A and B are shown apart, each in its own frame.
Chain A
Amino acid sequence: MSHSPQTIDQYLAALRDAFGTADRALQQDALSDAEEYLRGELALAPGQDEATVLARIVESYGAPEEVAAAYRQTEATVQRALEPRRAPSPTGDGAGSGEPRPAGGMFAVLKDPHAYGAVFYMLLSLVTGIFYFTWTITGATLSFGLLILIIGIPFLLLFLASVRVLALVEGRVVEGLLGVRMPRRPAYEPALPFVERIRAMLVDGRTWTAILYMLLLMPLGIVYSVVAVIGVFFPLALMLAPFAALFGDIFISEGVRVSFGPWYSSDGASADLLALVLMPVIGAALLVGFMHLARGIGRLHGALAKALLVRL
């Protein structure tokens, strides 16, 4: 180590450097853990010089480099343990069941929990998107509208703080459903005087990118949910069409009848066999295709959420 940190902020900066290009979310976890320990240790030694306390902390907690190494090692072990579950390898699949490899690779998406998570997320994002949008617009207009009165300032701060909490919640949802690693702890807040903390919140770019994300999620959520509903129900309708055809036309009243397609003649005599066979096949193919699309959208959206919600 070149020089030992003299203050908590220096220690945390050194810890951040020690991670280098490692995952930002992992880095944020480590920083908030260290922050908790360092502040706890400092609180137990009132009146003592911060540099002296830090020298002791490096002895007990470990130097930034050691701590970063411990996190990287644990994360690597967990990643290895999760890998086979997360992405079943097409080679292992094909060899095991004797299936042709491309087909195994093609249908592997059906065994991927994150593909289903992504479909669910696409449906859910309509609800969360509308909620975030309403919350953000209401909070922003009320805060800025009231700014001419003195009560607008606490309102604005409360609103910004609430956006940061929502960002953390959204991060947990994204990690759970899309499998993109997000921070599990709130970003560390240095124990600064009240006014300084407010300033830090205002100059923190993540506060503003989180607001952007909250607003973006509504249009995205509408598109996602429409795509998801069509993507699930259109293939399902095709797959179930032959069963519907069994029932023939549904007679509602004189001159009004619901017909299940041109392959079934209205006099109930003959069905077009080719159409009856083809429809479920096309439906199944479309469904698998949609699962791939959903997984892709999930990955893209995870990257977007990470860029806008994770601060470092």
Chain B
Amino acid sequence: MTSSPPVQSEIGRPRPREETRRLLAGRGSYTDDVDWPGQLHAAFLRSPYPHATIAAIDTAEAEAMPGVAAVLTWDKLATVCKPWQTVSLAFPGLRSPVQHPLANGRAAYQGEPVALVLAASRALAEDAIEAIAVDWEEQPAATDLATALDPDAPLVHPELTSNLAWQYERASGDVDALFARAAAVVSTRLRFTRHTGVPLEPRSVMARFDPDAGILDVRMSHQMPHQMQLHLASFLDLPMARVRVHAPHVGGGFGIKMHVYQDEIAVCAAARLLGRPVKFVADRIESMISDVHAREHEVDARMAVDADGRILAFDIHDLHGLGAYSVYPRSSTMETLSALRAIGASYRFDGYRARADIVLQNKTPTGQYRSVGHPIACTVTERLVDLAATKLGIEPLEMRRRNYVRIEDMPMVNAAGAHVFDLSHHACLERLTTLIDLPTLRAEIDAACATGRLLGLGFAAFVEFTASGSEVYGSARVPVAASDTVVVTLEPDGSVRADASVSEIGQGITQGLAQVLADAIGVPVARVQVQAGDTGRTPHGGGAWSSRGAAIGGEAAWQAGLRLREEILKAAASLLQADPDALDIRDGVITDRVGAARMDLAAFAETVVFRGHELPPGASPQLTVAHTYRRPQDSAIPVNGIQAALVEVDAETGLVRCLRHWAVEDCGRILNPLLVDGQIRGGIVQGIGEALYEACRYDPSGQFVTGTLADYLLPMAGEMPDITIAHVETPYSGSALGAKGAGESGTCAAGAAILNAVNDALARHGGSVDTLPITPMAVLAALGRRVAEAA
């Protein structure tokens, strides 16, 4: 760089997201908002059984129905589409069979797509589905987590010898000796119920194939269009250059829209086969049963502490219910590893042993969902810490304070193999204590409890590993992009256009990048236009996952912007016969170092683009530059924080009311506090949902019974507490901007804080709950009211 770094005035500014205006006015362009001429509407016949072989499918009557163009099964799609199988070097020996876009002779989960109807309207397609005659032979189904590995358990996939998908073990330190010499050992068995992400916009895809050009054109609601481009090219045997995937406005993803789905591939294959555009918009009923589920775990956990309450070791066994298939391409087992790595990550400890049994089930496949395994780790860890604090008579926050990783300890690799650095536990804790005014709050709680009310205060400290680097999937030979690229152009009118490889899924990252570019180049943010999500236009990159937008995309934008600034100043200097070091760009004007205007950026751009002959000889300004950022060190950037929840338990009904919630978090350099706070709030709400409301439930025969939003309880605004957020900013020391991941940490700790708060309330009566979501029946049972057996 020739000049000193530009003044930063946009980075850190709480600008409202520009795009929101358009969305609120109803002028968004979601996948379903566009219609292609001649398009057919897709509807799927899905297996009503958790496990069934298909002896025959008779589609003749359906094909003859009005408006029906085709009824497809796997054998027809097989002519244009390959099946796939999840394989990852990170999970050697992973057992997950081949997946077909439409079930091939056997449905392994209720909701698995079996036949695809293409018709003139969705209603007509659904009429035709009723006319398809399937000769089902029900098979025994394995859905119960606890018995999935029993020798007599039904096999989820008969070609496999057991239901064990993968097994994992890791140990460090002499764990048995540490437990033997411990002053106290606490243990718990925590159950986490499967739940799912429920984006407001359901999964949607439309595809058309031009047989003359050999081009597949796809619009889909997805978090990583480039990944889908890669897979569609592979499955449909097309060159990548002939596959375009465009994710327009996306109405929420949360990880649900990261994966390869059978029905979406079937739609693209159908478009290829039929030569007509096909549109599929999942309705809520099929979304509930076919969107990936997540977080079905039963964790047995022990923690050893010494007489001063210092944590010595963790011993964890995780039984994880994976579903019928390990999700493609990343593998559902990532959730297990993500959980186990983060156990105890806020603290110092010497010994660690973790074992995981990951089991197949005749249930919907599971996959990444906001914060992935971290909520499991945080809930388990923070519950153990509370149990130890109680056992030793140490105040809960003091317990954490005593055990936190300190500044002087970092960087370090802990006994779980997690690399922690640039964290700020003590600072966040002090900030929280001030924020909640702990002494006054405790007095209020005591006063309320004296009148017979049952209030509880719970804490959850967390570390979350964000912005995964290429080590995570690359070394596993799974083709997931971990670097991001920003291409930035100075337009002839002095405005700036950027194409970024991140994905805008409603989190506002394009707004954040616009602010970064505005500062890097020196133009007003209103003159910066950032596009994302279109393989036809934006470079290949990671999309939106692992909270990477600011930490990785932001770096790419910063470096690209600085490069463009340098190009501009170099050429402007020769035009103005000045030294590039003597020039600056501020607010869209090329100035001298004290800010006196020398040349308008628009005038400069016009000169370069239209009157290049006026440039001095040898000047060849590049007004389009690109920068690819791959973080050169650290396979993840840890972030930290602490949350507190105040709840009230109704001792008569068992219902839990959230009264207040606080979060102090450190996501490093904040690009836009409005965006970050929005992410944290939303994440906290989803964590509260996991703790108190949401459950994907199956009856004993394996039938999915929470298939509508009347049964599946989403957290609603009326029940949510005021959420107060404060930030500590410890920049990531390994990048120019210092931004870390912010999008998922709200979810990481919120459920843990709620569980600890409820157990704080129940502790006054000697009971506790150990299953999420916390049901009113479980609360009453913990209070000793034997009025209800567990559902």
Binding partners A and B: no
Mark B residues whose CB is within 8 Å of A: none
